[in-house]
Structure 1
Amino acid sequence: MKLHNLKPAEGSTHKEKRLGRGEASGKGGTSTKGNKGSQQRAGYQRKNAHEGGQMPIQRRIPKRGFKNINRVEYTVFNLGQIEKLQEKYAFPEFSIENLYANGLISKTDKVKILGTGELKTKLAFKVNALSAKAKELIESLGGSVEIVK
């Protein structure tokens, strides 16, 4: 084997016409990049939402409604759910800390109690909000309610 015998592996190389090397090459002039415009120039980068002059989708679609930045989102528990949770976890009191410790809510969640279902257990509640019906049912069983801000 000698240096003049060496050849690249079959299929590993292919000849491309050199672009922009004169009209005689057949790929001169615009070097296959078309006429004028940013895509012909070096350093072209497409903008993310650019649709080639067509009206972009975010401007074509109608806008509806709004997002109220003052809205307070609550994680809701019904009295029937609380009864089942009490059987499963045996809470000393139904508080945000106990719910978080058992992985039922996240750290920043606010908790609201609603009056759907039946509660048979006397419990102390420390929550962010509750309905009038829930408060009435809890206090009729002898439980206490504390609103936490």
Structure 2
Amino acid sequence: MQLNTIQPAAGAKHAKRRVGRGIGSGLGKTAGRGHKGQKSRAGGYHKVGFEGGQMPLQRRLPKRGFKSASLKFNAEVNLDDLQALVADEIDLMTLKAVGLVPELTKNAKVILSGSISRKITLKGVGATAGAKAAIEAAGGSVA
């Protein structure tokens, strides 16, 4: 290999489209813009969803629903999941390490789903009233 023989991969480079440069180019006269109308003129275009003055679809339909932006930062953990863990002291980092909650999670909450029979200590992790009662009944604590 020599510096003067190096070439880009086949198809990696292609000629720029030169419009309005005569009949022979295939893009002369109207330069691929068709005849007349707003789209043929310089600076003539409209916003996305514009329907020529008719009330656009996104404004004709009713607004509906809501999705919280903070949803991806909150996670729920079942009591069954905690029962399966080997650690006795459980915090957010422990839950992330074993993959029970996603890495983005900032707040985790234990919910009353399933049962727990061993003593655990929750630190920095929330719990519903029912889950807290179940953990304390098993001899654990929620800090």
Please report the TM-score for the alignment, with normalisation by the length of structure 1. 0.59
Name the % identity.
Answer: 36
1:102 aligns with 2:98: yes
Shift of 1:119: 0.8
The CA distance in 1 between the partners of 2:70 and 2:98, in whole Å, is 29
Query: Which of 35, 43, 66 is matched with 1:33 structurally?
Result: 35
CA root-mean-square deviation: 3.5
| Structure 1 contact 112–127 (Cα < 8 Å) conserved | no
The CA distance in 2 between the partners of 1:107 and 1:15, in whole Å, is 54
Amino acid at match of 1:91: A
Render the CA deviation track for 1:22-55: whole Å, top value 9, x for unaligned: xxxxxxxxxx623xx5334234334322222222
Shift of 1:65: 4.6
Render the CA deviation track for 1:107-135: whole Å, top value 9, x for unaligned: 43311112221212211112442122221
Detail structure 1 runs of 4+ shifted over 6 Å in the superposition. 13-16, 68-71
Render the CA deviation track for 1:68-126: whole Å, top value 9, x for unaligned: 7798x741122122213x1xxx2241211111223332243311112221212211112
The CA distance in 2 between the partners of 1:78 and 1:54, in whole Å, is 51
Amino acid at match of 1:33: H
Shift of 1:14: 6.6
Alignment of 1:17-28 (within 5 A): 19=29
Give 1 or 2 for the bigger CA radius of gyration: 1
1:135 aligns with 2:122: no
State how many pairs are aligned: 118
The CA distance in 2 between the partners of 1:70 and 1:103, in whole Å, is 20
Please report the TM-score for the alignment, with normalisation by the length of structure 2. 0.61
| Structure 2 contact 88–119 (Cα < 8 Å) conserved | no
| Structure 1 contact 100–107 (Cα < 8 Å) conserved | no
Unaligned runs of 5+ in 2: 1-22
Which residue of the partner structure matches residue 19 of structure 2?
none
